[in-house]
Amino acid sequence: MQTIKELKILISEEINREIIRLNKTEPTNLYEPIGYTLAMGGKRLRPVMVLMACNLFTDKIEKALPAALAIEVFHNFTLLHDDIMDQADMRRNSLAVHKKYNPNIAILSGDAMSIMAYNYLQKSETENLGKMIRLFSDTALEVCEGQQYDMDFETRMNVSIPEYLNMIRLKTAVLLACSLKMGALAANAPERIADLLYVFGLDLGIAFQLQDDLLDVFADQEKFGKKIGGDIISNKKTFLLLKALELSDDPTKKELLGWIEKYEFDHQEKIMAVKNIYTKLKIKEITENNIEDFYQSALDVLNEIDVAKETKEEMVALAKMIMSRDH
Amino acid sequence: MQTIKELKILISEEINREIIRLNKTEPTNLYEPIGYTLAMGGKRLRPVMVLMACNLFTDKIEKALPAALAIEVFHNFTLLHDDIMDQADMRRNSLAVHKKYNPNIAILSGDAMSIMAYNYLQKSETENLGKMIRLFSDTALEVCEGQQYDMDFETRMNVSIPEYLNMIRLKTAVLLACSLKMGALAANAPERIADLLYVFGLDLGIAFQLQDDLLDVFADQEKFGKKIGGDIISNKKTFLLLKALELSDDPTKKELLGWIEKYEFDHQEKIMAVKNIYTKLKIKEITENNIEDFYQSALDVLNEIDVAKETKEEMVALAKMIMSRDH
């Protein structure tokens, strides 16, 4: 069983080889931005999940490398297009592609990345290739659906908690779930176990996204990579905000909606005011409980999986790493 | 052997069923624009090519329906994203998606269409599915490359004729070629014949695009759908312009470049002036000869294909229709 660190090195080397190839491929304006995007780094969480899931069943993890690369390129494609849609100028301390190059190059490079993901995936040498392509394609479409719901929610005030959970399942969790199942399929694991890994990834992904919502407000500024309170400033319909709207009495709700509707405000003042409402309503504790429930549910599913306990340990370590991330 | 008309009805019915399904699928803001795009119509040239190529080898053309739908959805995806990039407000007498909805919805709906194309393709029931997915994916990436070269050429004056032919091969011809090969693969045709159909499609596609360049300047305004001279106004590096730059003597070249560099001008005056230069340099005849060469080369390849002469007749009719289009 290889460690998270070893798997990350393995996929990083593969990505670096690919970046070198892309930087030599024409047309330059199409492929160089793709290399630039892949070189921005990140935790390579999803490809590590692919490789680790494969490693649960076989030592030949190179079998899962094409799928790992496919998932990472697809994930980076979604970030690239999301940055255009969100008009986000920065990504991982670098200029976003649409800013470094231009929006047209960003649209087209993203389109090419989405197609390239399939090209990588097709290099998988396994009789499960058909299943893997279907899983990948279904997942990719779900991620688009999640992104659309997320955009729709920006202009809706009546988003319910179940609707929100469905959105983060689609936007975030299914790709983590797909990563794990993909690795299992690449290793020719029994379908039933591959499906259990999928469910594990789904629960873990929802816990991961709820944690993201929580950290935006309650993280330790020093450890947290980005500015605290970004979601509050942009009125993002996070689990915290939706829960607060659900639980607040009339005067508190009025105060909260007042902040949401304000056009001009002092950023710190708004963050403090909303945070105070959250504290009054025990939103932090409620969110933590929800995260714990999904996380525990994930671990329970993992326990059902029929592989030696020692080989599962690294997967538990990965789950812990995901939940304690500073990202 | 079914006629072009019959095949067009068949694919149109399939597309209409899909539009109805899409209009009932959530999230509405993702799937309704896709239905809207598919409902704009068009000649359904590429899916008819898929079905006809299949029909060369078998009566069971339903075998090629998933591939036909995949190619049409992919083609419409490229038009959708091209319209954002070109800031084109209209498409087939309707508002372009980014105008009717908004640019973000247009980006994301396009992304979903590109993925859906793979989902349709996967429904093909044939042992050649792996080959078909590979062919589709390679082609899709080439179309992106063609679009990037096309955008690159906008700001380059030194585009050579071979570079231009390579660009239109990628941007236009490979998808026609892929359509034909795809239909043959769906019918389990011998690989050698499928490859000949690919070459036929490639030559035909280049002839088709050169014809498009020619019609922009020399079409009969009454029969031509759009305004004559659009490429001249926008300084598009067409075969005609590149050939004129290649063949013109110094004073003529100076005059031509003068028109290209002018910021303010009377549209009709510029069109007439450039058209006069083209006429002086016999650009119309030269382009017609080039079209004829590619078209004849296409027909020669078709002749090599080992299917009964009568079954080939409809394919020749399709080639003729493509070249005499009023589009």
| Digit-coded pLDDT (tens) for A175-196 | 999 999 999 999 999 999 999 9
Based on C-alpha coordinates, what's the Rg of chain A? 20
pLDDT above 60: residue B326:
no
The residue among B223 and B270 whose pLDDT is bigger is B270
Assigned token pair, B124: 């093909």
| Digit-coded pLDDT (tens) for B208-236 | 999 999 999 998 877 776 788 999 999 99
List alpha helices for chain B, DSSP H. 4-23, 28-39, 45-55, 65-85, 97-100, 103-121, 129-154, 161-168, 174-186, 191-218, 230-233, 239-247, 250-261, 267-280, 283-304, 309-323
Average pLDDT, chain A: 95
Determine the pLDDT at residue B327. Answer: 41
A95 close to B (CB below 8 A): no
DSSP A125-182: -STTHHHHHHHHHHHHHHHHHHHHHHHHHHT-S---HHHHHHHHIIIIIHHHHHHHHH
Dist. CA B127–CA B118, nearest whole Å: 16
Q: How many residues does chain B have?
A: 327
ipTM over 0.85: yes
Percent over 90 (pLDDT), chain B: 92
- Give the H/E segment covering residue A189: none
Whether B242 and B253 have beta carbons less than 8 Å apart is answered as no
pTM for the full predicted model: 0.96
B145 close to A (CB below 8 A): yes
pLDDT above 90: residue A324:
no
> Considering only CB atoms, which chain B residues are within 8 Å of A140?
115
Mean pLDDT of B38-45: 94
| Distance to chain B for A245, nearest Cα, Å | 24
Of A169-173, A177-181, A240-244, A308-312, where does mean pLDDT reach its minimum?
A308-312
> Considering only CB atoms, which chain B residues are within 8 Å of A129?
130
A144 close to B (CB below 8 A): yes
Q: List b or e across A179-208, with b for residues whose CB sees 16 or more CB atoms inside 10 angstroms.
A: bbbbbbbbbebeeebbebbbbbbbbbbbbb
A107 close to B (CB below 8 A): yes
Determine the pLDDT at residue A325. Answer: 65
| Digit-coded pLDDT (tens) for A126-153 | 999 999 999 999 999 999 999 999 999 9
Determine the pLDDT at residue A327. Answer: 41
| Digit-coded pLDDT (tens) for B147-202 | 999 999 999 989 999 999 999 999 999 999 999 999 999 999 999 999 999 999 99
- Window 267-296 of B, Cβ < 8 Å to A: none
| Distance to chain B for A143, nearest Cα, Å | 9
Average pLDDT, chain B: 95
Place of tokens 């990345």: A113
Based on C-alpha coordinates, what's the Rg of chain B? 20
Question: Does the beta-carbon distance from A115 to B144 stay under 8 Å?
Answer: yes
Whether B102 and B164 have beta carbons less than 8 Å apart is answered as no
Picking from A116, A147, A128, A119, the residue whose alpha carbon sits closest to that of residue A53 is A128
With CA atoms as reference, the chain A residue closest to B123 would be: A134
pLDDT band at B325 (very low <50, low <70, confident <90, very high): low
Domains of chain A: 4-200+296-323 (1.10.600.10)
